[in-house]
Chains A and B, each alone.
Chain A
């Protein structure tokens, strides 16, 4: 029997191949040379992620499809892959110091981040339901392990366990949905589903609901957000920074790709689901964060809220909406990585402090750090002319253009409520009695904070490159 190799070019998947083979080589290095290579493995892992990103950008232009349509590289995939890789690389830089600490060092952390990133790239490029599931599992399985990576800490173990069990449950729902969709359309390919799903058959809609439930879990959208605060708080801080950045990019990417390319024929059916999820996430993210004392829990609720805002763009179901999602998630990654570099910098006598009260009077003990953190918080609250304002602007404009006025109004109201808790931190930093000073901030944290902070402050001067790239990426989905 002859096998057609025509549709099976390896070129589009080259960056992923380089990434996984590199990860396996680094694994060998660490396994044979022992934990003393942790620093070297981490450095090489960052280099590998950067090289993979460069390879993604060097792929020929246009839409590349391989493996019989189950792997798609278009402008959307390129943009979000590079963004996810940046997120992973920066979190590795942020965690370099802690993971190289002689008592806790662990080269496997970098390897797991690399393999998780490979899963994200497959997820972003997925062209059918099987690839979606495999990418999702490759990404998540590594995340469960890194959540529990601090074995001596009961909270870290709890975080890993909780994430794993709830993640397995959500995978089950996603698979149930996928099997219903396959049953009612007869194909797993997004293009085929789109062709078969024109009439909004009720069985198909049920499948869609379960599929979206599974995806909502991965991006921690309400009502599947319950794991987020506990996992964010329990996991080691660099791991939390990782959870908050790259996997969210991949999750939102596949959310967008599935809804827009597999179900363009039944927009009204999924639109109401996404609108509900967006409203619930924005509201919960804003209100539940108010009472938080721990900065990592607060960041968890903040992440839930931000995902809600990003989904506002998606619910429009238009090119502008997809563009809004892409711009939002890009700016969100920059804000989050900056904020986590501040949280990682908060150390007294070598120990991390995580309470909001520990930020008291930071403006007097470390004015530059306080200033940058304040700018990032203003940006998260969506105050012009910072980047966060433009992120919200694009998604709300898309919602208004699509006629979703109520959604846009609720979004603006919840963003005002959300501003309260961001401003509360700034008040603690600038007007409360100073707590004891913090340790000297490490160079790489300063570097990340400076880049993220300046990006947020200066985005309004020259937004064109990001916005144009996002527009091109969004157009490639339609």
Chain B
């Protein structure tokens, strides 16, 4: 067995085992940590395929941002996960049935695996010689696939508008910082200088003005 194959089985096996644990772990924090393990193993498989850029993106975006966000949400929301799982056994037979159907379909699929002769020609987009994977992606992402890139940007814009529309509430009771107003304050408006006589202190009227 050659080294890449060995590592493929290592990563694939670990990914599947970790994915199973995501579902079965009792503690939701453990689930999230197993999810990170799945991502790391998937990144390893990307490296084996020669897609090092995707592997790094997977680590940076999914492990670094998404999974950590998950962890934060789990820790901050006081959700009783054991109660959410109450119906688990009840639905298990149905879930297993669907799982078996999918498995049977996948086996059928594997049995029917015949690559069309034309595929081998089209499937490998020409990667220019002497250019790394990341560089090759960069060469086409903003040129040949600029329209996909821009439309993805539009989708993110919609997501942003949606998040603001659905969550932003202007409450009267919230005190907001108004920097312009702060900067516009003059010395006269903000300060009062009093000559305090020794042994007397400020008079009540002065104090009232001071507090104001």
Contacts and interface: CB of A to CB of B under 8 A. Distances in A.
A462 interface: no
A45 to B, nearest CB: 14
The interface centre, meaning the residue of B105, B109, B121 with most chain A CB atoms within 10 A of its CB, is B109
A115 B151 CA distance: 11
Contacts of B154: 20, 115, 118-119, 138
Interface stretch (A66-74, A339-347, A403-411): A66-74
B152 interface: yes
Contacts of A151: 166
Say whether chain A's binding surface is mostly helix, strand, loop, or mixed.
helix
B12 to A, nearest CB: 17
Interface size on B, as a range, is: 20 to 34
* Contact residues of B: prevailing secondary structure: helix
Interface residues of A, number: 46
B116 A3 contact: no
B178 interface: no
Contacts of A138: 151, 154-155, 158
Contacts of A112: 158, 161-162, 165
Nearest to A138: B155
Nearest to B114: A201
Contacts of A131: 147-148, 151
A225 to B, nearest CB: 19
A168 interface: no
B202 to A, nearest CB: 45
B119 A186 contact: yes
22 contacts: A1-B128, A20-B154, A68-B144, A115-B158, A115-B161, A116-B158, A131-B151, A138-B154, A138-B155, A141-B158, A142-B158, A145-B166, A148-B166, A149-B165, A151-B166, A186-B116, A186-B118, A186-B119, A186-B123, A187-B122, A199-B116, A201-B116
Interface of B: 105, 108-109, 111-116, 118-123, 128, 139, 143-144, 147-148, 151-152, 154-155, 157-159, 161-162, 164-166
5 A-B pairs closest in CB distance: A202-B112, A186-B119, A145-B162, A186-B123, A186-B122
Interface of A: 1, 3, 13, 20, 24, 27, 67-68, 70-71, 106, 108, 111-112, 115-116, 118-119, 122, 130-131, 134-135, 137-138, 141-142, 144-145, 148-149, 151, 160, 180, 184-187, 192, 195-196, 199, 201-203, 206
